[in-house]
Amino acid sequence: MLTTEGMDRRDGLHDKDHNRPKTMSAIPSFQVESHRQKRLCLRQAGSAVEHRCLDKKYKIFLSHAGAQKNFVEQLYIDLQRVLHFGIFFDIDDASLPKGENFPSRIFEAAKHCELAIVVMSDEYFTRKWPMLELKSFLESKKQRPELKILPVFYKLSIDEFRQQKRQRSYRKTWNKMSSDCQWEEVVKVISSTNGIHLRSSEPALRNEIVKATFKLVTPYLLSDDSNVQGKSRISRIIEESFQRSNDGSNASEARSVCFVGLYGMGGSGKTTMSKVLCNNMMQEFLGKVCRIEFGAHGFLDLCKQVIQCTTNYEEMFLSKVNDAELALQILKDRISDQRIFLVIDNVNETSSSEAKTFLGLPFKVGSLILVTARSITTLGNLNISWRSCMKVPALKKEEAVALLTQHAGCDNCNLSSEHKETLGKFVDKCCFNVEDWSLQEYHPLALKVFGTRMGPDPREWCKIVIDFKHPGNEGEHPLFSILRSSYDTLKPQIYQRMFIDLILARNGSTYRINSHDLAWRLRYLYDKETYAFNFELLEEFRRKSLIEYYNLFSGEILVHDLYREFVQMEVEKDKFQHHRKCCLFRGVNQRYKQAYRLRIYKQEIQHLMKEMLCSCSESELLTIEDCSNLKSVDVRGMQNLKMLEIVGCPLLKNVVVEGLANLRAIIWKGFEGEYPSLVGLESLEGLIFVSDNDKVFDASMETRPLDLSGCPYLDVLELWNQPPMPRLPDFNLLKDLRILMINRCEHFESFLCLHFLKNLVSLQLYDCSSLLEFPSLANFEHLEIFTLEGAFRLQKLNGFERLTALKFLSLKNAGLLQRLPGIEACTKIRGLDLSGTSSIQNFIWISSMLDLEKVNLSSTGLSVLPDCSKLYKLEELCLDNCMELEGFTGSGAVGESLLRISMWRCSRLTSLPQLKESPDLTHLKITRTSIQDLSALKDCFHLQYLDCAYTPITRLPDMSHMLSLKRLNVRGCVLLTRLDNITCLPALDELFVQDCENLVTLPDLRSSMCLMELDLTNCPLVDPDLVKLPGSSDCGEDYDVQMEENDGPVDEVDEADGPVEQPITTWWGKIMEAVGVATGWATN
């Protein structure tokens, strides 16, 4: 009997000739969670939980012998690029974690997988462990006939396998390993299964395996469509229209790119069915499936979404694309590489021009493009033939009943005949004329909302009344009456006003709402400001089907566009039911007043006088937006006003708000005038002035001081890009101020006046170039965020010992600071940026900051990096331009969670830190250091970016384990003569070897199938005719290869040589949200 006793992970894997690395990192860019997140999650869950879910985690098992390592590793990467589910691969740490019993895990994965890809070879049948796996597959197949075994005859044909001589050799080996070898059964299964054979090249073989896998494995679903009623029937109807459109009457158009339009009224199921179709098309299009929705994201984000889903463009590079034109160009260059299925959802008149841009892309022949809109006219305007357009198929009666009961949460089978009759009547209420057709249809959104309104208890259904004849509903579509039925059940009734405030909140996106808008309205209009209440309110909206999705952490709230129309219709009525009085979004040249809300949008008026607003004295919220000619505003007549918003009024200089005793918040974006007088604003709590980022103020220009004496209860003060002030406001009376942000402080020499602000939680001061003195930080013991940047004249900063709650600290460019007395007490710090504090040399205290996640010590006097081995949460470490840095304390370990290290221009540094305990490291930059030995990289299995330009290295270490390496920069390494160790880098995308004067030759790079850029400038000894790139024996036309000689001076710093882009910089902008004190206005 075959046993696993005394065996290694795989018999033959650690043979002398077939050594395997211990871990592997082919983590695809499209995976939502990072490898580290998954690893931490598994640690917390425990091995038992992980063991139980193996059957769900791995659908594919890669079985092979050690001799096929290189081929199978590349196959694994190819599969990961297009498949969204787990693949069990023995050298992947996620499959076989260290320290766990591997035989049981392998057998468990083999038992539950859907497909076993068996890479056949002579070695496979003469190694014990591969045959153990094969035996496990055969035994499992007896219990689960649906398990499929796919033989891949790699360097062993089926005829060779059947040769008697080989059979005897295999049988002899097996007899030595087992008394119960079941060899005849193995031969029978392999011989009778239609496998895949190596006919031409290995890439072609891998491609054939990938295609076969899509057909044999249950496809990954982009979205859950298990509860979609009628999906099989409706999707089949739509797919048949694809075929008809593709056949075409014109033979020249047949089998070309197919464009199909799907139209129907809002809520009729266009988006739902487009998601179903995306799931259905995953196999046919090998995972190259994408759905974009207009109104949900901007054009740039949509382009990046299509790039990520349908091309192999790397996510790391894509994240740096911030220009829509560049993103579009990438799409044009890459979209024709392979067939795709693209859904362009929810096109309307506003988005039609952007939709045309997408439709004009050079798609590969065989691609299928589906466009959805509310009307066939919109589709016609996109040049989609009416013959290729179809209306969303309607639900059948039984499907409508099932959908209604599904959302009601009841079981139709257990209903009495009386309740079934009532149910039928309710279903009929959701059947009405759609658009201009006389035919009545069941409306999916109406069924969903009405089902939620019904609830699971049939005894309560008799209480439900929806009166289509109500006087307030005359001329209204029945659908809106159904939407109102859910809205009317909101209790307490003030929730209705909160919902309408949420829907019509100022926001640039049509369907997604920033939760900061909601938070500020709840605080200043309703005195509700806790996270718990926000969650409770949004959860109530979701239960009533009023919103589709929310995420308070990301600040996103998703609302169906029909509810926007419903709300706007409600506020436009002359008579309001249930006190529906709220803000109004009006067209150009219109103004509308309400009892509680007033919105003035795109008015042509120049002056908004007090007399004009006296009739609006009950308004609590006034929003003035995009009034390009407006010069002055006087709101003193609005004594009930609680919140004033001004957005996009470039000529507005004068705003009068004096004496408004109930005013609690002023937000002025696009501020360019004089600060208003705040006399008499005794209730004011939030004050935000935001000028344009690119606004340049005259140096001699001074505004009048901001007088805060009239608002003693101010809680938030933010001044963004403000013109020069002669002096700081008087903070003496602002005992309650918690958040203070000023981002232009270049004229202030002292901030001693801040010592009155005992309750500060967040203090952020930028561009403090004139600052000479700062009060003791002991005054601010509640401080969680402290930013003091650009204070290069400040020499002393005391009181850190009292900041025990501090979480984020930035003292960027405070070059004269030599010490931070008491900093050892700040043990809760998560983010630390001391870049440019060149006089600070002692950082030993960092070792005790166990919560640190990101550290930037660039351009400091650091000479020896303190012990970071116990900083288990540290992810990013930046030590750029530390000219005195010579080494590391103790063992030199830098933490197990570390993802990024940058040590650019640390010229005295001669060795790498200990990286054995940092297995998840993805980015390493050591450009312009004195490091010669890179052997510490032997444990960096997940490394993606390695920059070691202008270093004295003489050779690269073995890099065969770096299967995820995408960028390698060895520019200016003049001692390098060969690069033999980079032949097996399948993910390599960029290779920079310019200025390597002694480099003699490049290795064969044909296995680096992702290589897109190669720079050989100033490599005089390299013969370009001998360079072998993927798909060719020399330099192909599809690659960006530079080989020109450069006689001019070498730039000191270029794109490949400069300091790493500081991840801390962008991360720092999220600080406010992280500690729960965000406003969201400055970045909105």
| pLDDT classification of 967: cutoffs 50, 70, 90 | very high
- Return the HEC string of 764-816: EECCCCCCCECCCHHHCCCCCEEEECCCCCCCCCCCHHHCCCCCEEECCCCCC
Segment 553-563 mean pLDDT: 71
Range of lowest pLDDT (339-348, 568-577, 845-854): 568-577
Q: What is the CATH number of the domain that holds 663?
A: 3.80.10
Q: What is the CATH number of the domain that holds 542?
A: 1.10.10.10
- Give the pLDDT of residue 506: 52
Query: In terms of domains, do 559 and 616 share one?
Result: no
| pLDDT classification of 222: cutoffs 50, 70, 90 | low
- Give the pLDDT of residue 102: 60
Residue 876 within any structural domain of the chain: no
Range of lowest pLDDT (468-482, 511-525, 548-562, 581-595): 581-595
Query: In terms of domains, do 646 and 561 share one?
Result: no
**Non-local CB neighbours of 378 within 8 Å, separated by 6+ positions:** 263, 347, 348, 349, 352
Rounded CA Rg of the chain: 33
Sign (positive/negative) of CA torsion 457, 462, 465, 469? positive
The CA distance from 309 to 287, in Å, is 8
Query: In terms of domains, do 561 and 605 share one?
Result: no
Sign (positive/negative) of CA torsion 919, 921, 922, 927? negative
pLDDT tens track for 610-630:
877 766 777 888 888 888 899
Range of lowest pLDDT (452-466, 775-789, 948-962): 452-466
DSSP for residue 53: T
Q: What is the CATH number of the domain that holds 255?
A: 3.40.50.300
* 543 or 1003, which is more confident: 1003
The helix (run of H) or strand (run of E) holding residue 109 is: helix 102-112
Residue 879 within any structural domain of the chain: no
Among candidate residues 571, 602, 624, the one where a domain is terminated: 571
Query: In terms of domains, do 556 and 590 share one?
Result: no
Query: In terms of domains, do 437 and 329 share one?
Result: no
Q: Residue 457 class from Cβ within 10 Å (0-12 exposed, 13-18 middle, 19+ buried)?
A: exposed
DSSP-based three-state secondary structure for 371: strand
Domain range enclosing 39? 35-216
User: Rounded to 5 degrees, what are φ and ψ at 2?
Assistant: -70, 135
| pLDDT classification of 901: cutoffs 50, 70, 90 | very high
DSSP-based three-state secondary structure for 1041: strand
State how many domains the chain has.
Answer: 6
The CA distance from 1012 to 723, in Å, is 47
Residue 975 within any structural domain of the chain: no
Segment 217-222 mean pLDDT: 66
Query: In terms of domains, do 82 and 196 share one?
Result: yes
Among candidate residues 799, 826, 857, the one where a domain is terminated: 857
Confirm if 140 and 110 have CB atoms less than 8 A apart: yes
Classify the phi-psi angles of 804: left when phi > 0, otherwise alpha if psi is within -120 to 50, otherwise beta.
alpha
- The β-bridge partners of 833 are 810, 856
- Give the pLDDT of residue 473: 47
Q: Among candidates 281, 314, 7, which has minimal Cα distance to 1013?
A: 314
Confirm if 177 and 2 have CB atoms less than 8 A apart: yes
Residue 885 within any structural domain of the chain: no
- HSE on the CB side for 716, CA within 13 Å? 20
Calculate the average pLDDT of the chain: 78
Residue 1008 within any structural domain of the chain: no
DSSP for residue 1006: T
Q: Is the pLDDT of residue 551 over 80?
A: no
Query: In terms of domains, do 155 and 46 share one?
Result: yes
Query: In terms of domains, do 372 and 331 share one?
Result: yes
Helices (H), 360-477: 376-381, 397-408, 417-429, 444-454
| pLDDT classification of 577: cutoffs 50, 70, 90 | very low
pLDDT tens track for 680-728:
999 999 999 988 766 665 555 556 778 888 888 999 999 988 877 777 8
Q: Is the pLDDT of residue 81 over 80?
A: no
Among candidate residues 571, 598, 630, the one where a domain is terminated: 571
Q: Residue 1077 class from Cβ within 10 Å (0-12 exposed, 13-18 middle, 19+ buried)?
A: middle
- Give the pLDDT of residue 869: 86
The CA distance from 748 to 14, in Å, is 67
Query: In terms of domains, do 317 and 236 share one?
Result: yes
Q: What is the CATH number of the domain that holds 162?
A: 3.40.50.10140
The CA distance from 455 to 588, in Å, is 42
Confirm if 653 and 674 have CB atoms less than 8 A apart: yes
Cβ atoms within 10 Å of 1013's Cβ, excluding its own: 14
Query: In terms of domains, do 65 and 186 share one?
Result: yes
Q: Among candidates 60, 56, 179, 185, which has minimal Cα distance to 119?
A: 60
Residue 516 within any structural domain of the chain: yes
pLDDT tens track for 792-841:
999 999 999 999 999 999 999 999 999 999 999 999 999 999 999 999 98
| pLDDT classification of 1031: cutoffs 50, 70, 90 | low
DSSP for residue 593: E
CA distances from 202 to 52, 286, 288, 948 (A): 36, 19, 22, 32
Segment 93-120 mean pLDDT: 70
Residue 997 within any structural domain of the chain: no
Helices then strands, counting H and E runs in the chain, come out as 28, 41
Confirm if 671 and 691 have CB atoms less than 8 A apart: yes
Cβ atoms within 10 Å of 464's Cβ, excluding its own: 15
Query: In terms of domains, do 476 and 524 share one?
Result: no
Q: Among candidates 156, 152, 153, 150, which has minimal Cα distance to 122?
A: 156
DSSP for residue 992: E
Residue 779 within any structural domain of the chain: yes
Query: In terms of domains, do 567 and 587 share one?
Result: no
User: Rounded to 5 degrees, what are φ and ψ at 312?
Assistant: -100, 20
